[in-house]
Amino acid sequence: MATLSLCLIVRDAQRPLDAALASAAPFVDEMVVVDTGSRDGSREVASRHGAKVVEFPWCDDFSAARNHSLDHAGGDWIFWMDADDVLPPESGGLLQQAIAGCPQRDAAFWVTVEEAVPARRGRPGRVMGHAHVKLFPNHPRLRFRYRIHEQLTPALKELGIPIRPSGAVVRHAHADRSPAGERARAERNLRLALLDLGERPDDPFVWLSVGMSYLHAPQGLAQAEAYLRRAAEGLTDRSPTQLNAYLYLGQALGLAGRPDEEEAVYREALVKFPDDGSLLLRLGGMCERSGRLEEAAELYRRLLRQGKGRLTVVHPRDLAVQAALRLGQVYVRQGQVRQAERLWMEAARKHPQAVVLRRALLGLHSRFPSLVVQPRPPQAP
């Protein structure tokens, strides 16, 4: 049977590393942990889990550190995580299924990273996802590129290796989201992105990386907009990476208080990606907040009819649930309470794990206690 190596890079991540290794250990044949200068007990935690611990001096390059971990991996396949990720058991099984179904080792696999985003600024909490190539054959020419937002896709394209969905997820569960942690991460990412820019000044992916980094930097919105516009124009037309550039550009314009321009960007992107669920959801929200309820409703209905979430684009995990929830809220605002109830009940049947829909129905019934769904007429024989 094919063997699987888990590869991680770590620095001062003692507590999350313990959970990461414990979650992945049942599904891999070896664990390689590259330590880039920890001063806590990270190396000891890794050793306690039976991992191979390798030292690598940090050189402001995530790809270099990840590639060093690949150099020390002996499995037929590589699976990589971050130290603050957790692999759910069902996803571990999906990784093994993907390997078993690819005996020629002639494909790589997407794995979605999910993270819970808490409610803020009046927006409900949600789970966001974004896929990375995390499972791939151990091949000497498959190596990461770029100092930050490291990518394996260019090497896969050069070797003609396709990327398939795996259905697996990892949960980004233990990241430091304190103000100090967010600030340190933003400063580091911008510094590394600018180093990439110095080395690859004409690379549209680097423009996207720099724009994303400026987006989280103090007083960085103007630079973020400039680089994200360049990226949207320079990236391969109608590629998922171009869509990401449009979405981040819209976010920058929204943070800058320019909603008309933000909406224009989303509508420009929608011409190229007419079925993208993230675009339809964002545009629907903008229409809803500005009182254009019928237009918002049509965008949500369009999402429910044909919208889809692209794996490699940052998107809410349950696009259809979010669209149904918001469409029902629009119906309530329009006085179509019974229509909202029918919509939410049907959506709840399709998505029985969607707690937000059950809460919406409970809230609706508490506001309108006499509301009763009319029974459906019997079907003709």
Helix (H) or strand (E) holding 9: strand 4-10
Q: Is the pLDDT of residue 361 over 90?
A: yes
> Is residue 79 within 8 Å of 8, Cβ to Cβ?
no
Q: Is the pLDDT of residue 123 over 70?
A: no
Higher-confidence residue: 191 or 371? 191
What is the Cα–Cα distance from 130 to 244, expressed in whole angstroms? 10
What is the Cα–Cα distance from 330 to 309, expressed in whole angstroms? 22
| CA nearest to 153, candidates 236, 74, 55 | 236
| CA nearest to 70, candidates 163, 7, 11 | 7
DSSP string for residues in 125-161? PEEEEEEEEEEEE--TT---BSSSS-BSHHHHHHHT-
Q: Is the pLDDT of residue 381 over 50?
A: no
pLDDT in tens, 261-279: 999 999 999 999 999 999 9
pLDDT band at 233 (very low <50, low <70, confident <90, very high): very high
- How much is the average pLDDT of 271-294? 96
Q: Is the pLDDT of residue 127 over 70?
A: yes
Alpha helices, H only, 334-380: 337-350, 355-367
- How much is the average pLDDT of 102-125? 85
Residue-level pLDDT at 372: 58
Residue-level pLDDT at 373: 52
Q: Is the pLDDT of residue 374 over 70?
A: no
Q: Is the pLDDT of residue 379 over 70?
A: no
Residue-level pLDDT at 122: 58
> Is residue 286 within 8 Å of 259, Cβ to Cβ?
yes
Q: Is the pLDDT of residue 376 over 50?
A: no
Contact partners, residue 273, CB within 8 Å, separation at least 6? 238, 243, 279
Residue-level pLDDT at 313: 86
Tell me, what amino acid is at 281? L
What is the Cα–Cα distance from 65 to 144, expressed in whole angstroms? 9
3-state secondary structure of 171: strand
Q: Is the pLDDT of residue 225 over 50?
A: yes
- The chain-wide mean pLDDT, for the chain, equals 93
Give all domains of the chain, ordered by start, each with its CATH number: 4-172 (3.90.550.10), 176-273 (1.25.40), 274-369 (1.25.40.10)
pLDDT in tens, 54-112: 999 999 999 999 999 999 999 999 999 999 999 999 999 999 999 999 999 999 999 99
Percent of the chain with pLDDT over 70: 96
Q: Is the pLDDT of residue 291 over 50?
A: yes
Residue-level pLDDT at 120: 67
What are the C-alpha distances in Å from 158 to residues 143, 148, 152, 162? Answer: 11, 21, 10, 10
Residue 124 backbone dihedrals phi, psi, to 5 degrees: -70, 160
Helix (H) or strand (E) holding 322: helix 319-333
Rg (CA), the chain: 23
Total-model pTM: 0.91
Residue-level pLDDT at 1: 86
Residue 141 backbone dihedrals phi, psi, to 5 degrees: -100, 0
Higher-confidence residue: 2 or 310? 2
pLDDT in tens, 310-341: 888 888 888 999 999 999 999 999 999 999 99
Residue-level pLDDT at 380: 46
Residue-level pLDDT at 378: 46
pLDDT in tens, 172-203: 987 777 888 889 999 999 999 999 999 999 99
Beta strands 4-10 and 52-55: pairing type?
unpaired
Beta strands 77-80 and 126-137: pairing type?
antiparallel
Residue-level pLDDT at 149: 96
Q: What is the DSSP letter of 55?
A: E
Q: Is the pLDDT of residue 377 over 50?
A: no
